[in-house]
Chains A and B, each alone.
Chain A
Amino acid sequence: MKLKDTILGVAALSAMMAASTASAEKITIGLSAEPTSLDPHFHNLGPNNAMSVHIFDRLIQQDEKQRLTPKLALSWKPVDDLTWEFKLRQGIKFHDGTDFNADDVVCTFKRAPDVPNSPASFGTYIKGKTVVKIDDYTVHFKTATPYPLMGNDVSTIPIISDSVGCGGTTAEFNAGKAAIGTGPFKFVSYRPGESIVMTRNEEYWDKKPIWSEVEFRPIKSGPSRVAALLAGDVDMISGVPTTDIETLSKNSDLQLSQGVSNRVIYLHMDQFREDSPHIRAIGGGKIKNPLLDIRVRKAISMAISRDAIVDRVMEGVAIKAGQLLPDGFFGISSKLKPVEYDPKGAKALLTEAGYGDGFEMTIHGPNDRYINDAKIAEAIGQMLNRVGIKASVETMPRSVYFSRASKGGEGGSPEFSFFLVGWGAGSGESSSPLKSLVHTYDKSKGFGAANRGRHSDAAIDATIEEALRTVDDAKRQELLAKATEMAIEGLAVIPTHFQVNTWAAKKGIRYIARTDEYTLATGVVKD
């Protein structure tokens, strides 16, 4: 009897195991950057936002090209100048079985800007908006002035549940208790520094993921991440180091996916000081800041070979930039092309501006923030030397770099004269770089917060501000394109290239590259 039980038990167990291996499709993903929390409102940071997409749906989703598509909201439209109406999808359930309705939306937008100890709050996207419940499946977002970017802002906020999420603490989210969303995956376990495990939401209302279980493993060191993929410990990795791309692309067991990102790498130039701290006459004497002269800025742009940066420094994995966002994004100009490399023309222009003999300048850049950032700065330094500008290059860790770049100078002004930075347009359209990088630094209006060169042009400011009041998409597109053209022609900044991101997966699976640099399990498809 006993023996029979055992045999039956073993048989049942092996049948179960066979069944589970047949239907279980687990995927393990090695991540280059780790989220700091599973509380979706704790830290407004790329890796956190990417992770929260799995568990928490948004009202509006940004697709792989950051175009807005309906998710929990069926539709959104302005009903008057100051009000946007969102119609919510019905019949959606949270992971704990409760229904999704307008109360969840209202409480989400109340909690999101106000999480205790949050290092970077979502308040940036929520301030100035009042959320009002009209009925169970209709909410109104009200603003004090006409606001066209409502959809973009709302698409950044993960919706949590009124019953367990809104009163939840960050610790409760990390423990899984409050991590209840409507998303394609459910929380299983979170071990900081080790792994995040999720299982498929079998009742998911939208397209169900093909993976029954997904495990994310943070492996920050690039070579180790590649080795983990080669060893078969992970099925896919994000952030393939550019130096490994060539070798990996020849490996027949692997498959690479590449896609341009929303991140432009550009140069900021001191345009607000007569006496710029890192610019000297040849030999070290004082000199009036040459970068105030648009001809000098233009000459510098012409002296930079974007082809060389893309082909040599980035090993082909980047796209030349002529404006602030790559093709396909809302609000770009169709007229602007990357500036052609023309050292002779640059030299002539410098001579015309009275700097035929050149000047001395220090180029600053980070060395651990963007792909190959220090190498790019060095390449640009050499190119400038070729047209007579005696440029030296100084790079440093981002922890030191960004505080000096923002306020290291006299009286809390930006310190550097000529420096390399990058900008990722989180909203997926061009008002994001325009208002932060190009608009005049204006504390009271909250514009130009990252305008570290302090370029200032009243006409551009007016165009940007008008665009930000224009709800009509076609008109706004036109205004943003115009502002972009004015900024590029006025040499507010010099864009060099757009970053291209690379994912690598074992044969048979492939990642649909995203412009927002997110790594999502839902984007991993089988061939």
Chain B
Amino acid sequence: MTVFVIRRLMQAAVVVFVMSIIVFFGVNVIGDPVYMLVSPDADQADIQAAIERLGLDRPIYEQYFRFLDGARQGDLGKSFIFGEPALQLILHHMPATLELAFTALFLAVFLGIPLGLYAGLFPDRAASKAVMAGSILGFSLPTFWVGLMLIMLFAVLLGWLPSTGRGDTVNVLGFETSLLTLDGLSHVMLPALNLALLKISLAIRLTRAGVREAMGQDYVKFARAKGISTRRIIGVHVMKNIMIPVVTVMGLEFGSLVAFSVVTESIFAWPGMGKLLIDAILQLDRPIVVAYLMIIVLFFVVINLIVDIIYSILDPRVRLQDKTS
């Protein structure tokens, strides 16, 4: 397994390198950040000074080599707008996004899977049909609209939960988290639900499909004939078999929860990485965009690795080795 992990990480390094080229040259095609930065009052000399200070007067390949040189030492460039290292800014905003993503994943797993199981075991009940209809809505409604509706309902009309922002935080092992305070939890509920809605629907449908298929299989019939309790059949045998696709999809979806929670973070004014990214894109803060995408690539590679490892635990037939072709 060690060899497998090491090889995977080496592949990741190559992916990150290729990505750095694509991203770096890609963002440099769009617009000119200088005009987003300087004050409108600035005269020609001020503008020229800003261009030189940012190094934008240098040829693009030279800028790239300078970036690579910094990257080797863990420096992904300084934000044009904040003047701080891009990596540091992103890491600073990461805990907020991670707690949102974890809460959403928690909701997806602990609401989606039981509901899907129920709908799969009793497909003809009215409640199951309601669950399935609800999951279709969860798929098809646009996130920004649902987010605003959640705010209107729970914050404006009912007044149960705060509308936007992140609540009080406490410091745990050097990380600020709002999941351990009541105020923090009340703030995280709406954005997490908004983010989770699609994932819950996904989990419901995947689980239901898996259960429906598994229940008709020979091993279930055999177990029944042997007199094993229904609870054990479902809880152990069926669950183990249907979890593989669910784990794969949820793993990948977790990646997208972290990387692309842009819409939810914007609507709920959540101070996470997604909001940092979208602001950086709008203002052409190139170093942040580049650093962000590099981190996300790395992140996806790691998630895939973890998914593979969980696989091998769920299904001993899966061995962690590269298929030599």
Specify which chain A residues have a CB less than 8 angstroms from the CB of B148 in the assembled complex: 223-224, 227
Q: How far is the CB of A261 from chain B (nearest CB, A)?
A: 14
Residue among B32, B47, B163 having the largest count of chain A Cβ atoms under 10 Å: B163
Contact of A403 among B35, B43, B45, B283 (CB under 8 A): B35
Contact of A230 among B40, B156, B279, B281 (CB under 8 A): B156
Residue A402 interfacial (CB < 8 Å)? yes
Minimal Cβ-Cβ distance residue in A for B48: A443
Specify which chain B residues have a CB less than 8 angstroms from the CB of A406 in the assembled complex: 32, 35
Residue B155 interfacial (CB < 8 Å)? yes
Contact of B159 among A116, A231, A400, A449 (CB under 8 A): A231
Residue B68 interfacial (CB < 8 Å)? no
Given A193-B93, A446-B44, A231 and B162 contact (CB-CB distance below 8 Å): yes
Pair B35/A220 contact, Cβ less than 8 Å: no
Q: How far is the CB of A431 from chain B (nearest CB, A)?
A: 11
Pair A194/B43 contact, Cβ less than 8 Å: no
Q: How far is the CB of A216 from chain B (nearest CB, A)?
A: 11
Pair A224/B267 contact, Cβ less than 8 Å: yes
Q: Which one, B80-88, B197-205, B294-302, B309-317, is touching chain A?
A: B80-88
Interface residues of B in 261-314 (CB under 8 A from A): 266-269, 271-272, 275-276, 279, 281-284
Pair B164/A449 contact, Cβ less than 8 Å: no
Contact of A36 among B42, B43, B82, B96 (CB under 8 A): B82
Pair A193/B271 contact, Cβ less than 8 Å: yes
B15-26 to A contact mask, C-beta < 8 Å, 1/0: 000000000000
Specify which chain A residues have a CB less than 8 angstroms from the CB of B38 in the assembled complex: 119-120
Specify which chain B residues have a CB less than 8 angstroms from the CB of A194 in the assembled complex: 165-166, 271
Q: How far is the CB of B101 from chain A (nearest CB, A)?
A: 17
Residue B208 interfacial (CB < 8 Å)? no
Pair B30/A400 contact, Cβ less than 8 Å: yes
Residue A507 interfacial (CB < 8 Å)? no
Query: What is the total of A-B residue contacts with beta carbons within 8 Å?
Result: 151
Q: How far is the CB of B81 from chain A (nearest CB, A)?
A: 5
Specify which chain A residues have a CB less than 8 angstroms from the CB of B272 in the assembled complex: 193
Given A231-B151, A449-B42, A120 and B271 contact (CB-CB distance below 8 Å): no
A449-467 to B contact mask, C-beta < 8 Å, 1/0: 1100000000000000000
Contact of B164 among A117, A219, A399 (CB under 8 A): A219
Given A231-B162, A233-B163, A368-B282, A436 and B269 contact (CB-CB distance below 8 Å): no
Q: How far is the CB of A213 from chain B (nearest CB, A)?
A: 16
Q: Which one, A19-27, A41-49, A315-323, A385-393, is touching chain B?
A: A41-49
Given A193-B276, A232-B159, A443 and B271 contact (CB-CB distance below 8 Å): no
Given A119-B50, A192-B271, A231-B151, A450 and B165 contact (CB-CB distance below 8 Å): no
5 nearest A-B pairs in the assembled complex, by CB-CB distance: A193-B271, A117-B83, A403-B32, A446-B43, A231-B155
Residues of A within 8 A of B (CB): 36-37, 42-45, 116-121, 123-125, 170-171, 191-195, 217-221, 223-225, 227-228, 230-233, 368, 397-400, 402-404, 406-407, 423-424, 426-427, 432, 436, 443, 446-447, 449-450
The 28 sampled A-B contact pairs (Cβ below 8 Å) are A36-B82, A117-B83, A120-B38, A121-B46, A121-B50, A123-B49, A124-B42, A124-B46, A171-B84, A192-B271, A193-B271, A193-B275, A217-B165, A224-B163, A224-B164, A227-B148, A227-B155, A228-B155, A230-B156, A231-B162, A233-B162, A398-B282, A399-B31, A399-B36, A406-B35, A443-B44, A446-B45, A449-B43
Give me 9 other A-B pairs in contact (C-beta within 8 A), A223-B148, A406-B35, A426-B40 excluded.
A119-B38, A191-B271, A193-B96, A217-B165, A227-B155, A228-B165, A231-B163, A404-B31, A449-B46
Residues of B within 8 A of A (CB): 30-47, 49-50, 78, 80-84, 92-93, 96, 148, 151-152, 155-156, 159, 162-166, 266-269, 271-272, 275-276, 279, 281-284
